[in-house]
Chain A
Amino acid sequence: MTTYFTKDHEYIRVSGDTGTIGISDYAQAQLGDVVYVDLPATGKTLKQGDEAAVVESVKAASEVYAPVSGEVVEVNSALTDAPSTVNESPLDKGWFLKIKVANNNELNELMDEAAYQSYVKSLG
């Protein structure tokens, strides 16, 4: 199981051909209190960089982009009633959706955990 990150602060944790997508701890801290999460329909096909979900804080709405291409196989419907889970447990219980990864090569374009941490540090 490996976790990859994007420059837009999404993560995808890959196990077999399933990728679990969410936003990083840095992203949730930047957003502040999450009050709503708009999740895609299962079965939807996403291309890398497509809008996969929307996360809303008190102040603003932000897009969550698909780190890689794939078909949506499951969404975290628990977030509908408890959107603050994204703040409390972004990398675990606060995941957004799972996709069937279409092309493993796309994962190579992403950062691993160490690269992402130094990327976040570079943002100051």
Chain B
Amino acid sequence: MQADLKTTSLNDTHIKLGAKMVPFAGYNMPVQYPMGVMQEHLWTRERAGLFDVSHMGQCFLIPDDGKHETAARALEMLVPADILNMKPHQQRYTQFLNKDGGILDDLMVTRTAYEGHDGWLYLVVNAGCKDADYAHLEKNLPPNVKLKVSEQLALIALQGPKAASVLSKLVPQVSSMPFMTYYATKIADMMVHISRSGYTGEDGFEISVHDKDVVKLWNMLLENPDVKPIGLGARDSLRLEAGLCLYGHDIDETTSPVEAGLVWSMQKRRRIEGGFPGAARIQKELKDGASRVRVGIQPEGRAPAREGTEIVDPATNKVIGKVTSGGFGPSINGPVAMGYVEKDFATNDTALHLMVRGKALPAKIANMPFAPHRYFKPEKFKESA
């Protein structure tokens, strides 16, 4: 292990489980366990996978006056989602934007609701961006909203069709939680913050727990025969099949949420009112369409097209875009990719060529997700855009 790498509180546990550890975003992280990426991926789609995502950043926005509105208005200066109208226990996906409407990071925001913490917003941000995100918040939050970075919280994700039955054995209430909601409770003597969300396209949960308790909770969950530990390798193939963006690859400071196909995460009030960084560009793109858009790409053969692969119009041999994530989808049993193409080509079934090792491989624009999302959404909780 490189000397300058940080570790999560589960580091020794991963090593005992036989994980292959690799550097990721400054942390020593498990890329796979002895089962291997392919089987770990398939297991998560069939049963339940347990992921250590403690490298991600967890922080709170705390309004001096204890009012949701105060914290919400402060965060709305930096993101294009409607935070103000979030209900207690609700969670939303959004993005920090720069003044040009490019994405600085993507994040999950939760309106917490527990006594003594009135008005707190809970944020989960990417590991690789967290220091920059915290600096961005410190610089831009008004004086009456404080940033509290948690250095003592671990985060684990339980994902897959069996996740709810597994976790409900420890916390019966979770089985009725809708997708994108949160619940704070105790498991044994451990305080946990549970959200029904994830990064695999499956039903599942992310559980925030104190560092000192995470090994115990991890082992409790692993005792269930439906649960196996899953590394970052399968996490990546799962999210790719689910059509979910990976920051620094599918979205970055040059891509806007409109280009990235994330309009669903900007609620109507914000789209109309603006009032977030880059609103002028984003509102123009909403009106006129973006010049390039993120699309799913289905190669016709067996060869995966990796990140950086050029996308060519077969009629003119002109480069019309680039693959931003690509690999093999174990559940699809074939290669899958996503990338950006000029808007005129962004229609399903449009024929493309992918330039892989100098060869033009036929492919077409495909619907995402490649593997259907299986989120738990009771009708009455479905969110209107």
Chain A interface (Cβ within 8 Å of chain B)?
A: 32-33, 35-36, 38, 54, 56-61, 80, 83
Contact A36 B38 (CB under 8 A): no
Cβ–Cβ < 8 Å partners of A57 in chain B: 37, 328
Contact B233 A58 (CB under 8 A): yes
Contact B302 A59 (CB under 8 A): no
Contact A56 B38 (CB under 8 A): no
- Shortest CB–CB separation between residue A108 and chain B, in angstroms? 31
Given A57-B37, A58-B38, A59-B327, CB of A36 within 8 Å of CB of B304? yes
Contact A32 B304 (CB under 8 A): no
Cβ–Cβ < 8 Å partners of B32 in chain A: 32
How distant is the Cα of A35 from the Cα of B330 in the complex, in angstroms?
Answer: 9
Nearest CB to that of B301 among chain A residues?
A36
Contact B335 A36 (CB under 8 A): yes
Contact A59 B236 (CB under 8 A): yes
Contact A58 B330 (CB under 8 A): yes
Contact A33 B357 (CB under 8 A): no
**Known A33-B39, A58-B233, A58-B327; further 19 A-B contacts with Cβ < 8 A:** A32-B32, A32-B36, A32-B38, A32-B233, A33-B38, A35-B38, A35-B302, A36-B302, A36-B304, A36-B328, A36-B335, A38-B303, A38-B357, A54-B357, A56-B328, A58-B237, A58-B328, A59-B237, A61-B304
Interface centre among B39, B234, B304, B306 (most CB of A within 10 A): B304
How distant is the Cα of A61 from the Cα of B39 in the complex, in angstroms?
Answer: 19
Nearest CB to that of B306 among chain A residues?
A61
Decide if B364 is an interface residue (CB 8 Å cutoff): no
Contact A35 B328 (CB under 8 A): yes
Cβ–Cβ < 8 Å partners of B234 in chain A: 58
Contact B335 A32 (CB under 8 A): no
Some 14 contacts from A to B, beta carbons below 8 A apart, are A33-B38, A35-B38, A35-B335, A36-B304, A36-B335, A56-B303, A57-B37, A58-B37, A58-B327, A58-B328, A59-B37, A59-B236, A61-B306, A80-B302
Nearest CB to that of A80 among chain B residues?
B302
Cβ–Cβ < 8 Å partners of B327 in chain A: 58-59
- Shortest CB–CB separation between residue A86 and chain B, in angstroms? 13
Interface centre among A33, A36, A57 (most CB of B within 10 A): A33
Contact B37 A32 (CB under 8 A): yes
Contact B41 A58 (CB under 8 A): yes
Cβ–Cβ < 8 Å partners of A59 in chain B: 31, 37, 233, 236-237, 327
Interface centre among B32, B236, B302 (most CB of A within 10 A): B302
Cβ–Cβ < 8 Å partners of B303 in chain A: 36, 38, 56
